[in-house]
Structure 1
Amino acid sequence: MTDLDLLHFEQLKKDVQVQYLKEHTPSHDDISKWKGIDIIYFQEDLRKKAKGNISEKSFYTYFKNSPVTKLPRIDMLNLLSIYAGYESWYGFKKQHLFAGELLKEDEEITNDELAEIEKTVTESPALPSEEIPVQKQEIKPTENTDLQKSNTDNQEIKENQKIPAAAGTDQIKPKKSFIRRNIWAAVTAVLVILTGLLGFKDVIFSKTYKYCFTDADRGVGVVNTIEIKVIKENESPILYKIKPGECFYYSTKDKNLKMQISSPFYEYLEINRSLENAPAEEIIELKPDDYKMAAYYFSIKDANGDPEELKRKRNQLESLISKNAVIYQIYDNNIYGIERLDKQKYITLVTTPTTSLKNLSVIEMKKDNNGKIISIKFKIATDEKNK
């Protein structure tokens, strides 16, 4: 990558902006100021014309910052170039050459470079092919300094006189050392076992309980994430998040269990259990909140572009959501984390027929005493896999 490539990418961003403005009217002409529904419309147009998609995270990374310090992947560059009216990223650069710029189609090694590599290898010094012989040292027998070497009788008498001194004392010492070592090993093993029992007593003496959750009205699994707070005396609550269809496993040696269970589409529930005779597995029913479920259903319902169906969808949401509702959209990126929408902007977003709505998920939803939705927190996940 060169600095010229970064300059070319800045040119391409301007061409993409010009191409989109030919048929659309976003909230700002400057592409770096687009957000929310503007990005969703742009993604739809990109899928339609270039048969591809970029994630919201990639949009914020490469279009919100100017100039950029790194170049996107080549597949994204080709996609944006096709959208802007060029056959590829190479084709775009070819038509926007700077003064003195040379454009290469590939980066393969040329014949001259290959010859230079071969020359370097040929001229390199050769390693020695023969090993250096190892000289053998002759070991000379030690001279016998016995002055009576010729007298064989005297030599035999000398060997017989080699009597081991204090043989009984040498045999007693190893026995005492062996006993002492075994005693210390046994004491050390006992200490290790006792330490392990003290360190893992909670695991050894605890019992695991399994709690599964079901919809009280429909008899099916809970449709969204469940938050469970385990309340223990003189301790801060411990929060667990359970995905749809999964069960909650909790290990404890306590005799009582207190749980606070909440979920965006279900009523709050507090559970108190005595664990002395409690079963190891239990199914807990959660009562659905019909108002919240209806608001979610009409938010993601596909109207297939039918004007009458879209009108019914808008009317349903108008009746379910309070006019002063506080609505937030959460983004999965570090540049732009959250955006606040009013009721009408939210209804416009979810009644616009885009493929992104299938990825809409509600994080939190609250209602007042009259059943009106007063708070919604949601996000639209991306289909693009980060590589």
Structure 2
Amino acid sequence: MTDLEFFYQLKKSVLEQYQNSYPYFNGSWKSFSAQDILNLIDDIQFITKQSISEKWIYTHLKPETNQKLPRKDMLDILSVYVGKSGWDEFVFNGNIKENNNNFKLGFSNKIGILVLVFGVLIAGFFIWKFLSKEEQKLEFQNSFTKDSIAKEEVKAYFVEDTVEKQIDINSSTFNIDKATKVVLKSPFYKPKVITILPNEPIAKVELNPNDYAMMLKAFMKSDIKDWQTRKEQLNKILSDNLEVMVMLQNNLGAEYFNKQEFSQKVILPTASLKKLKIVELKQENDNKISFLRLTTE
């Protein structure tokens, strides 16, 4: 602040001190009357033991604006009137108050900025949590052997209002944003329903093997030479009404086999048999296999 600005502050303090002595006065320097001026002169003389002229008050205190700073000896008298030792103390205290206000303002601004930033971060976090979908990863293992199960052997479906929607589990992860029911199906494992929750990592899902399907898979991939044993075991796990569809490559259609024809292919293993892959399998109530859909690998 400039000295002239401090003088305006001093004029304000003088008016406040005068109101302390004359509480019935509730005006400003503009409304300060001739009687108020006489009262002020008396009050200043009583408190400071020094005199100030009526003309000086009209010249320096009554105007709303001042062009220049009055003499320091007169400023000292007014400063003593408002409770200071002199003009120098009045200015010094005014500077301290201004610096404190600036510090408080600066500190308040910093606190405000920190609160704003923190609020934005919190809001951003909740918006992100609301909009983002939690990534989940499905992995499978045989419940008996604890061996990992290839994802190609399992299909997964979201269940929404009894409607199943297949999801891609061959990619590394998939996204969910709420508790989700998932149905797992495989030609070689029994169906299983699991519930996946956001923010909760999924442990490896254990699937119970379908014994008859596993046996048939082993027959098709192995080099067992005991064809009689194979024939007896196949007769046990295959339904008399078995239907087998082998999907041909390049969209050339499909080949159809009944139980006898398919058993003959399995009993005498060939290189072409090992290339066949079970993609769909159905069973009767006694677990005998009644339908097979195969593709070539």
What TM-score comes out, normalization by structure 1 length? 0.40
Measure how far apart 1:248 and its partner are. 5.8
1:331 aligned partner: 248
* Alignment partners' CA distance in 2, 1:282 and 1:248: 14
| Alignment length (residue pairs) | 171
- Once the two structures are TM-superposed, the CA of residue 219 in structure 1 deviates from its matched residue by 0.3
> Is the 2:159–2:165 Cα contact (8 Å) retained in structure 1?
yes
Distance 2:227 2:255 in 1: 25
Tell me if 1:218 matches 2:145.
yes
Larger Rg: 2
Taking the aligned partners of 2:266 and 2:278, their CA distance within structure 1 comes to 13
Q: Deviation per CA, 1:301-323: give whole Å up to 9, x if none.
A: 213xx4xx012112211111011
Match of 2:174 among 233, 242, 250: 250
**Do the aligned residues in 1 keep the contact of 2:153 with 2:188 (CA within 8 Å)?**
no
**Conserved? CA contact 1:202–1:252, under 8 Å:** no
Q: Give the corresponding residue for 2:270.
A: 354
- Secondary structure of the residue that 1:333 maps to in structure 2? helix
CA distance in 1, matches of 2:155, 2:130: 24
> Which residue is equivalent to 2:233?
316
Structure 1 residues 203 and 299 mapped into 2: Cα distance closer, same or farther (>3 Å)? Answer: farther
- State the Cα distance separating 1:358 from its structure 2 match: 2.2
| 1:241 to partner: Cα distance | 4.8
1:86-165 matched pairs, under 5 angstroms: none
Equivalent residue letter for 2:232:
N
Q: 1:362 to 1:330 in 2, by over 3 A?
A: same
Amino acid at match of 1:220: D
**SS of 1:297 mapped into structure 2:** helix
Q: Does residue 231 in structure 1 map to residue 163 in structure 2?
A: no
> Displacement of 1:226 after TM fit?
0.7
Sequence identity of aligned pairs in percent?
Answer: 23
Aligned to 1:293: 214
TM-superposed CA distance for 1:359, in Å, is: 1.5
Cα drift, residue 268 of structure 1: 0.7
Could you tell me how far 1:333 is from its partner in structure 2? 1.6
Q: Higher helix proportion, which one?
A: 2
Asked if structure 1 preserves the Cα contact closer than 8 Å seen for 2:243 and 2:291, the reply is yes
Q: Which runs of 5+ in 1 are unaligned?
A: 1-196, 382-387
TM-superposed CA distance for 1:265, in Å, is: 0.6
Equivalent residue runs for 1:1-387 within 5 Å: 205-223=132-150, 225-232=153-160, 237-242=164-169, 249-254=173-178, 256-275=179-198, 278-303=199-224, 306=225, 309-334=226-251, 336-381=252-297
Distance between the aligned counterparts of 2:280 and 2:180, measured in 1? 26
Following superposition, the deviation at residue 201 of structure 1 comes to 6.9
Provide, for residues 61-90 of structure 1, a one-character-per-residue CA deviation record: whole Å limited to 9, x for no partner: xxxxxxxxxxxxxxxxxxxxxxxxxxxxxx
Q: CA deviation at 1:290?
A: 0.8
Match of 2:30 in 1: none
Q: Where does structure 1 differ by over 3 angstroms across 4 or more consecutive aligned residues?
A: 200-204
Secondary structure in structure 2 of the residue aligned to 1:369? coil
Equivalent-residue separation in structure 2 for 1:249 and 1:242 (angstroms): 7
Which amino acid letter does the alignment assign opposite residue 203 of structure 2?
E
Q: Normalized against structure 2, the TM-score is what?
A: 0.52
Q: Which residue of 1 aligns with 2:89?
A: none
SS at match of 1:267: coil
Cα distance change on mapping 1:316 and 1:347 into 2, 3 Å:
same
Residue of structure 2 equivalent to 1:163 = none
Relative contact order: is structure 1 or structure 2 higher (C-alpha 8 Å, sep ≥ 6)?
1
Unaligned runs of 5+ residues in structure 2 are: 1-123
Per the TM alignment, residue 300 of structure 1 is displaced from its structure 2 partner at its CA by: 2.6
**What SS does structure 1 have at the residue aligned with 2:203?**
strand
SS of residue in 2 equivalent to 1:282: coil
SS at match of 2:139: strand
For 2:242 and 2:274, locate their aligned partners in 1 and report how far apart those are by CA, in whole Å: 23
Distance 1:242 1:274 in 2: 16
Q: Which amino acid aligns with 1:260?
A: V
Give the distance between the partners of 1:269 and 1:353, measured in 2 at CA: 32
Work out the CA distance in 2 between the residues paired with 1:354 and 1:203. 56
State the Cα RMSD in Å: 2.7
Q: Please give the per-residue CA displacement for 1:205-226, whole angstroms capped at 9, x wherever unaligned.
A: 2211122111001100125521
